[in-house]
Amino acid sequence: MEQLLLLIFLPLAGAIITALAGKSAKIVSTVISVASLGLALFIACNFIPDASTQFEANLPWIADLGIRFHAGIDGISMLVVLLTNLLIPIIILSSYKYDYKNPAAFYALILFMQAGLLLVFTAMDAFLFYIGWEAALIPIYFICAFWGGKDRIRINMKFFVYTIAGSLFMLMGIIYLYLQNPAHNFDIQAFYALNLDSAQQGWIFWAFFIAFAIKMPIFPFHTWQPDTYTAAPTHGTMLLSGIMLKMGIYGVIRWLLPIVPTGVQDWSCLAMVLSIIGIVYASLIAFTQKDAKRLVAYSSIAHVGLISAGIFALNQQGMQGAMVQMLSHGINVVGLFFVLDIIFSRLKTNKIEELGGIAKLAPQLAITFLIIVLGTVALPGTNGFIGEFLLLMGVYNYGIWAAAIAGLTIIFGAVYMLRMYQNVMLGKTNELTITFTDIKGTEKLVLYIICALIIILGVYPKPLLHLTEASVQHLLEQVHQKLTSVK
């Protein structure tokens, strides 16, 4: 219990210390984030990969309303806890070359967001989950609003309205479940045990699904994403794409499937169709992008669409693939946005047609960028392969045609990502790119770490699969048992 409480509250305490640290905020936030990573690794090393909930904290909070500070870690949450604590120090390190205005506030907001994310990924109480959900939104809103690019206020407002609207739907669903619970508490197991009819499950499905679909995002709830990813400061984009969208995926797995399995079964076909439309639509739009950062934003929608399809296939392969791909996607997309940030910091543009020949001047950047691109397009031997393979297997078991169309993400992704790499890194240098310099210092450190993770997890993914297997299997058994009992 103590380890989990420390894991959640260390970033929160770190945010307060960082806010008061002034010019030392960058160093202080780095120390706090590395300490959080060390604690997460300690917990992972002591985690028993079975279906049980471990390191559980269950303390009274607002007793009159049946609200408890109930949090714990199983195989499903362990993976995203590791992802969060791994990416935060990488994101902070990647910002070292910048002198952000008011750095104390900037780094404090990152750590505050980390605390909210960890609360979401460990909450066993629906009210606590909702608090974490909203707490993670507040800092990223201010990061985008204060340090974003051109037209950031309008774009950020759209993002805020989308996410708040989704959150309100989810809150209505949570309150309804609380009222249906005879124990009048928000405990996740009590919600799992509720016997709701088909109509009740149907509307609760949509209340939760809209909130999660916006956060992921999947078609047609995605329209906030490309503009926000482009206008946000790069490190805000990394937080959004690398970790925050995983809140939606995790929410579907942890809260939606076990609570309303009949609702999921009734609407899974539509959810699958929306996911697959998103894959094809986002891929086709990516082909037309002239801005590399915007291209990566659309590629993220396509990859998340495949993850969503794997989840709604409701089988072991699809769910395992979704878990592994959450981690892989987070690592890869942070790497992609960091490379583009390096290019922008030197040349002040991400316009693909204005670039070219960078590999001749920056061979280390070219090699690391290629490894990240290959991981993104799921080349065998990279971290992206095993997740996409399992996802496609899961979707294939759901339906051959669904797998055939969803599989286009691999073909399309390879085409637009490799073409982007070719146009940016290869060919002849021009008047703009001739002055380009290779990576150095923390740029090297961050890219080397990311490339090492891509290769290591690609060559030896067994620990990740072993970590989540029992929990995923147990969750699916719960879902199928409830479906069988209804029949």
What does the block give as tokens for 454? Answer: 């891509």
Taking a C-beta distance cutoff of 8 angstroms, is the pair 422, 414 a contact? no
Average pLDDT over residues 17-42: 91
Kindly tell me the number of DSSP H helices and DSSP E strands found in the chain: 22, 2
Structure confidence at residue 428 (pLDDT) = 85
8-state DSSP, 394: H
Is pLDDT above 90 for 457?
Answer: yes
Q: Which residue has the higher pLDDT, 96 or 370?
A: 370
> What's the pLDDT at 448?
95
DSSP 3-state of 196:
coil
Question: Mean pLDDT, to the nearest integer, of 132-158?
Answer: 83
Q: Which amino acid is at 8?
A: I
Residue 162 has pLDDT above 90, yes or no: no
Mean of the pLDDT values across residues 463-480? Answer: 89
- Tell me, what amino acid is at 487? K
For position 486, what pLDDT does the model report? 59
Backbone torsion region of residue 55, taken as left when φ is above 0, otherwise alpha when ψ lies between -120 and 50, otherwise beta? left
In a 3-state reduction of DSSP, which class is residue 70? strand
Task: Please name the residue that has the structure tokens 């399809």.
Answer: 309
> How many residues are given for the chain?
487
| C-alpha dihedral (343, 345, 349, 351), degrees to nearest 10 | 30
Euclidean distance between CA atoms 275 and 406, whole angstroms? 9
Q: What is the pLDDT of residues 277-286, one digit of tens each?
A: 999 989 989 8
Query: Taking 70 as the threshold, does the pLDDT of residue 170 lie above it?
Result: yes
| Six-digit token string for 78 | 């362990």
Residue 331 pLDDT: 94
Cβ-based neighbour number of residue 220 at 10 Å? 11
Query: What are residue 54's DSSP bridge partners?
Result: 73
Tokens matching residue 10: 């260390």
Binned at pLDDT 50, 70 and 90, residue 228 comes out as confident
The phi, psi pair for 377, rounded to 5°, reads -90, 10
Model confidence at 345, pLDDT cuts 50, 70, 90, reads confident
What pLDDT shows up at residue 207?
92
Average pLDDT of the chain is 89
Mean predicted confidence (pLDDT) in 219-240: 84
pLDDT of residue 370: 94
Give the whole-angstrom CA distance, residue 192 versus residue 204.
13
Q: Give the pLDDT confidence score for residue 487 in this predicted structure.
A: 54
Which of 140-144, 194-198, 458-462 ranks highest by mean pLDDT? 458-462
Neighbours of 109 (CB within 10 A): 24
List, in order, residues 6 or more apart from 463 with CB less than 8 Å away.
none
Average pLDDT over residues 432-437: 87
Q: What is the DSSP string of 329-340?
A: HHHHHHHHHHHH
Domain boundaries, the chain: 260-487
Report pTM. 0.92
The Cα 52–Cα 63 span in angstroms is 26
pLDDT digits (tens, 9 = 90+) for 36-60: 999 999 999 999 888 888 998 888 8
Write phi, then psi, for 87 (nearest 5 degrees). Answer: -80, -30
Instruction: Give me the residue label for tokens 């109930």.
Output: 70
Task: Indicate the SS3 state at residue 60.
Answer: strand
For residues 214 and 160, the answer to whether their CB atoms sit within 8 Å is: no
pLDDT band of residue 130 (cuts 50, 70, 90) is very high
- Other Cβ atoms less than 10 A from the Cβ of 45: the count is 7
Q: For residue 90, which phi and psi values (nearest 5 degrees)?
A: -65, -45
